[in-house]
């Protein structure tokens, strides 16, 4: 999603929060609270969040908006691996706690559609392809995390299992990208070389970004592999958890 794309209100509601003015973004810890955002309250009590926006929000707190009203421009602010819009809808289930709710997008048919986990949706149809990831020759996955000692390194290998074709090594292909959103635990270079944090105690840095525990306990990291071949219309995605030191026992 290019920076500056128009962001429109998905539903009618009242703007209850605006954060504006940030021009910073990236995968470093210091960007954890730097995202520009708009939150809209709907009549049924749910909240829509529009996050990582460009500075110069078009609405103010307390303003009523209608479906389709322009509220902002997309951006790349806050803790982000690249320009995109984070959009979710949540409801408050008890004081201090919310939960997200399924979203039905009203496009494609009168009934719309509900996105499915693991599928890619964009302006052009893409075929989801399977990626097999290994580290130093051993398979790794969400069910089989990569385990590293503090400061240790490992080399990822990525194979593409395209329909009707034998597995192909795409580790160094231009279509393959690696990144790690858990910089306090892991880093990864453009060719899949993963390095674990050499610092055994980085719980404080972790807590600032992932207090919800979304990435597991302190000592856990994750490496994301993204594959997109525009010419063939292929898209693949894999997430590899990394356990650093004795984190698995915590």
Higher pLDDT, 106 or 210: 106
For residue 117, being part of any structural domain is answered with no
Domain containing residue 159? 127-249
pTM of the predicted model as reported, rounded to 2 decimal places:
0.55
| Residue 116 falls inside a structural domain | no
CA 130 to each of CA 32, 160, 226, 228, 229: distance values in angstroms, whole numbers, following the listed order: 31, 6, 11, 12, 13
Residues 146 and 232 in one domain: yes
Chain segment 162-176, per-residue pLDDT in tens = 667 788 999 999 989
Identify whether 105 is part of a domain: no
Residue 211's pLDDT is what?
46
Residue 100 tokens read as 């997200």
Q: Tell whether 79 and 181 lie within a shared domain.
A: no
Same domain, 95 and 132: no
Same domain membership, residue 239 and residue 132: yes
Taking Cα atoms as reference points, which of 11, 102, 17 lies closest to residue 53?
17
Is 106 inside any structural domain?
A: no
Q: Are residues 42 and 140 in the same domain?
A: no
Q: Are residues 80 and 147 in the same domain?
A: no
Provide the CATH number for the domain around residue 22: 2.70.70.10
Tens digit of each residue's pLDDT (9 = 90 or more) over 230-242: 788 787 888 888 8
pLDDT tens digit sequence for 118-129:
555 655 556 778
CATH classification at residue 167: 2.60.40.1080
Q: Are strands 36-41 and 47-53 parallel, antiparallel or unpaired?
A: antiparallel
Is the CB of residue 36 less than 8 Å from the CB of residue 91? Answer: no
pLDDT at 243: 87
In this prediction, residue 138 carries a pLDDT of 93
Q: Do 17 and 75 lie in a common domain?
A: yes
Do residues 95 and 131 both lie within one domain? no
Shared domain check, 141 and 77: no
147 lies in a domain? yes
- The average confidence (pLDDT) of the chain is 81
Per-residue confidence at 10, pLDDT binned at 50, 70, 90? very high
Residue 45 pLDDT > 50: yes
- Say whether both 48 and 152 belong to one domain: no
Task: Tell whether 135 and 89 lie within a shared domain.
Answer: no
Total domains in the chain come to 2
Which value, to the nearest 10 degrees, does the dihedral of the CA atoms of residues 77, 78, 84, 88 take? -130
How far is Cα 219 from Cα 185, in angstroms, rounded to an integer? Answer: 6
Is the domain of 80 the same as that of 181? no
Q: Where among 58, 82, 100 does a domain terminate?
A: 100
Sheet of strand 13-19: strand arrangement: 64-65, 13-19, 36-41, 47-53, 86-94, 97-100
170-175's contacts with Cβ under 8 Å and 24+ in sequence apart are 170/131, 170/227, 173/227, 175/227, 175/228, 175/229, 175/234
In a domain, 183, yes or no: yes
Mean pLDDT of 17-33: 84
């Amino acid at each position: 999603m290019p920076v500056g794309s128009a962001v429109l209100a998905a539903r009618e509601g009242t703007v209850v929060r605006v954060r504006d003015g940030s021009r910073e973004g990236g995968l470093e810890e210091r960007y954890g609270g730097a995202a520009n955002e708009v939150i809209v309250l709907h009549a049924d009590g749910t909240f829509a969040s529009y996050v990582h926006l460009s500075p110069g929000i078009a609405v103010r707190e307390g303003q009523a908006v209608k479906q389709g009203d322009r509220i902002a421009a997309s951006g790349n602010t806050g803790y982000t691996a690249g320009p995109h819009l984070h959009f979710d809808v949540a409801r408050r289930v008890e004081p201090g706690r919310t939960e997200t709710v399924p979203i039905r997008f009203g496009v494609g048919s009168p009934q719309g559609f509900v996105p499915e986990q693991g599928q890619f949706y964009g302006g052009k149809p893409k075929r989801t392809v399977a990626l097999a990831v290994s580290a130093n020759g051993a398979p790794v996955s969400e069910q089989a995390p990569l385990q590293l000692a503090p400061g240790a390194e490992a080399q990822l290998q990525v194979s593409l299992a395209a329909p009707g074709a034998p597995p192909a090594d795409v580790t160094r292909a231009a279509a393959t990208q690696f990144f790690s959103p858990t910089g306090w635990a892991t880093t990864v270079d453009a060719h899949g070389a993963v390095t674990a944090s050499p610092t055994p105690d980085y719980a404080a840095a972790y807590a600032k970004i992932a207090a919800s525990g979304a990435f597991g306990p302190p000592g856990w990291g994750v490496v994301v592999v993204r594959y997109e071949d525009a010419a063939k219309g292929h898209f693949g995605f894999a997430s590899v958890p990394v356990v650093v030191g004795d984190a698995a026992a915590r």
